[in-house]
Structure 1
Amino acid sequence: MKKASIKYLFERNKTFYFRMSIPPAKRADFKKREFVESLGTRSLEEAITLLESKTQFYLAKLAGIETDDSVAALRVYSRKGISSEPSGHELDHCGLDEGEACG
């Protein structure tokens, strides 16, 4: 049975991801066609919970509102159960392309 479609959410290899198309007029600014980021969960319920903050974060980026990527990265660390604050070096190596947010 096919699952109902939820805007910006897709599943790959049993893991849920956020995906948002970048409007053509903004693609040159971001040097890509879409934002894609793992939500780090196999649970649909958890993915739906995380989806709202991801959606707001990337809509703000598209609107040109400054976002604090380090705060987003801290959310990832706390979700993974890491209690200490990551250093700048760890934030630089969060597994995403340059310029993408960790969280």
Structure 2
Amino acid sequence: MNVNNNANGARNHNHEIPRYLLQHALRPREVSFTLMERQQESMYIVWAAARGRVRQKVYYPGLLLPPYPLPPVWPDDIWAMMVLWVARERWMFEMEMTELEYILGLGARAH
């Protein structure tokens, strides 16, 4: 790491922080993303396949599972969208399970 302020072209002699560095990072609720219809359909198809594999592992552990198919090749921006989509769905599922536990009197509400 070079500690010389002028080494990388940083010639701010007033020692001011550049304005773009002072902007706040977007909060999760300020970020929106959308999947194209084809991509969303693909996600639900793959989710159904994953659900089938899990059920087979749980209810029929003696059966051999088919090998995993090769994953789709996504451009970086679509790959990032998929990561966000899966994370959001996992978060939603966890919240639903918490609500189910509360409604059934099985756990304390985390609010």
Structure 1 length normalisation: TM-score?
0.24
Greater share of strand: 1
Greater share of helix: 2
